[in-house]
Structure 1
Amino acid sequence: MNKKNNTEFEDKILILFDGVCSLCNVLIKILDRIPNDNNIIICAMESTTGMQILKDYNLKLDPDTVVVIEKNKYYTKSKAIKKIVNKFTGFSKSLAIINIFPDFIINIFYDLIAKNRYRFFKRYKSCPLNKKTNKLNLKILN
């Protein structure tokens, strides 16, 4: 995915996540079950494609934050979470209530979880979600 040539993804969001984090992978699997009108694409940030996308946006690899790219702009932490939730449809759309909370409050909780996730959840050697073995409905970039 090139920053300048991503018309295929214009109406979608791309989520770059820590592919070796078991908590992140569980959350992706939950996300896969939430109706979203196929508006969400995922990519492990440490994958070859993920690293290229980070480079295209002049971002450094930071597994402690999720990155969402929408319409050639990137968002991290609370802003990224809000972008994801806003793509939900059906009953799950009610989760958009998160938008009423200020970013700094959400970021406090986000940072606390991000910094401690490996302490409470295991870490994979490589991302278990890939095109060949996944059974997800979400589109995956490897």
Structure 2
Amino acid sequence: MPKSSSDNDSPLLLYDGHCALCNGAVSWILKWDKRQRFTFAPLQGPTAAEIIRRHPHLAEIDSLILVEGDSMRTHSSAALRVAMIVGGLWKVLGLFYIIPKPLRDWVYNGIARIRYRTFGRYDACPMPPVEWRHRFKA
């Protein structure tokens, strides 16, 4: 049975709501997360603001932040953990954990630097499809 998006232990993915690549990643998760474990909130919203208020070191992050209970993952570690949670064949991406984090994050940050130019930028956070809105927080 899928977890409800109201479960406190559901992984929460904070993402740049203006970034087309980040919104694409959210759409990918919605497609492949068959057990509906994830909830989502844009970095521009009050949910993210409250988390960042409690964890000020996250204020500099402008792409993905994965929150699981008291655990916060950013950059490549967040992306790889998402793949692990989605499961199935996507778990194979966990093999990239063998690459040292500084190198993984260097690649991740390189993509993040060009994401607006390459993938585009929204003026406002797009609304999720009606059937998925229960999985989003403001």
Query: TM-score, normalization: structure 2?
Result: 0.82
Q: Which moved more, 1:15-24 or 1:99-108?
A: 99-108
- Secondary structure of residue in 1 paired with 2:66: strand
1:45-69, Cα deviation, whole Å (9 max, x unpaired): 1112221222122231532x31111
Task: Identify the match of residue 116 of structure 2 among 99, 115, 118.
Answer: 118
Aligned length: 132
Structure 1 equivalent of residue 36 of structure 2:
38
Structure 1 equivalent of residue 8 of structure 2:
9
1:8 counterpart letter in structure 2: D
Task: Identify the match of residue 94 of structure 2 among 65, 87, 96.
Answer: 96
2-structure distance, mates of 1:61, 1:47: 15
Distance 1:28 1:140, change over 3 A: same
2:15 counterpart letter in structure 1: F
Offset, 1:16: 0.6
Structure 1 equivalent of residue 3 of structure 2:
none
- Answer whether contact 1:67 1:74 (CA < 8 A) is retained: yes
Structure 2 equivalent of residue 56 of structure 1:
54
Query: TM-score, normalization: structure 1?
Result: 0.80
Structure 2 equivalent of residue 71 of structure 1:
69
1-structure distance, mates of 2:66, 2:134: 15
Relative to its length, the structure with more helix (as a share) is 2
Q: Percent identity?
A: 23
Distance 1:129 1:97, change over 3 A: farther
2-structure distance, mates of 1:101, 1:137: 36
Structure 1 equivalent of residue 136 of structure 2:
140
